[in-house]
Amino acid sequence: MALNLVVLAAWMWSRYWWLKQLDKFWSWWHALMEYSVYDAKLAWFEKVVFVIRKSFEEEFKEKIGNKIAWFIPVSYAFQDMKDLPEWFVCPETREKPWGTWHAVLSAKGVIDWPFAVINADDFYGRESYEVIANFLKNNDQNAIVWYTISEVLSEFWTVSRGMCELDNDGNLVAIHETKKIYKKDGKILADRDDWTSFEINFNELCSMNMMWFRKSSLDFYERYFKEFLEKNINEPKVEFYMPEVVTRLINEEGEHVPVLPTKAQWFGVTYQEDKEATNRSIDALIESWKYPKNLWE
Q: How confident is the model at residue 210 (pLDDT cuts 50, 70, 90)?
A: very high
What is d(CA 206, CA 122) in angstroms, rounded to the nearest whole number? Answer: 14
pLDDT at 28 over 60: no
Give the CATH number, domain containing residue 21: 3.90.550.10
Q: How confident is the model at residue 12 (pLDDT cuts 50, 70, 90)?
A: low
Mean pLDDT of the chain: 90
Domain count across the chain: 1
Residue 156 has what pLDDT?
A: 85
Assess if residue 159 is contained within a domain.
no
Of how many residues is the chain composed? 297
Q: What is the pTM of this model?
A: 0.92
Q: Are 27 and 294 in contact (CB under 8 A)?
A: yes
Domain that holds residue 62: 4-150+207-287
Assess if residue 160 is contained within a domain.
no
Could you give the percent of the chain with pLDDT greater than 70? 94
Assess if residue 185 is contained within a domain.
no
* Mean pLDDT of all residues in 140-164: 93
Assess if residue 215 is contained within a domain.
yes
Assess if residue 181 is contained within a domain.
no
Assess if residue 235 is contained within a domain.
yes
pLDDT at 40 over 60: yes
Higher-confidence position of 5 and 93:
5
* Mean pLDDT of all residues in 238-253: 91
Assess if residue 230 is contained within a domain.
yes
Assess if residue 246 is contained within a domain.
yes
* Mean pLDDT of all residues in 203-231: 93
